[in-house]
Amino acid sequence: MLVATLAVLRAALGDAERAYATVSDVSDPDARGPALAAVAGHLTGTPVLLDVTAEADDWTLTILCTLARALCPAPPAAHPLVGSMVHKALETDTWYRILPVLTHIAPGAADAVLGVAEQHRRGGWCGGVTRSAPSR
């Protein structure tokens, strides 16, 4: 969480390149996904609600992102690195956390994501857990 906080601070201060480098160096993909979402959310002005029911760190990061957006609003156009952040975040198990940013920068992408999720649901795959067919 400390790395994500530092990266959001760097983004808020206008150094998107260092913010991106900071989160790209996170070795744990489960931590990298939310960190990328937090930075990309700030750079696009998109509220990224992290899972506030999970851990205190997610709640703290959500508050910090909200404060950063209020104190240092995003520029009118998304930073060119946002696309790379979205791409990297989609490669993690926490890919769903980047969806608000993805739909902000590419509104039509939501339909494609929903289509993939529906295919997985129909195939019995749900969040990495294989579901058995319902009994009758």
Mean pLDDT along residues 5-14:
88
| Residue 18, pLDDT above cutoff 90 | yes
Position 132 scores a pLDDT of 46
| Residue 116, pLDDT above cutoff 70 | yes
Bridge partners for 130 per DSSP: 125
Q: What is the pTM of this model?
A: 0.72
CA atoms within 13 A on the CB side of 5: 10
In b/e form, how buried is each residue of 111-130, taking b as 16+ CB within 10 angstroms? eebeeeeeeeeeeeeeeeee
Distance CA 92, CA 78 (A): 22
Mean pLDDT along residues 11-22:
92
Query: Do 109 and 102 contact (CB within 8 A), yes or no?
Result: yes
Mean pLDDT along residues 77-89:
87
| Residue 22, pLDDT above cutoff 90 | yes
Rg of the chain (C-alpha set): 16
Q: In which band, very low, low, confident or very high, does the pLDDT at 56 lie, cut at 50, 70 and 90?
A: low
Distance CA 21, CA 100 (A): 21
Dihedral of the alpha carbons of 84, 81, 22, 88, in degrees to the nearest 10: -10
126: DSSP letter: E
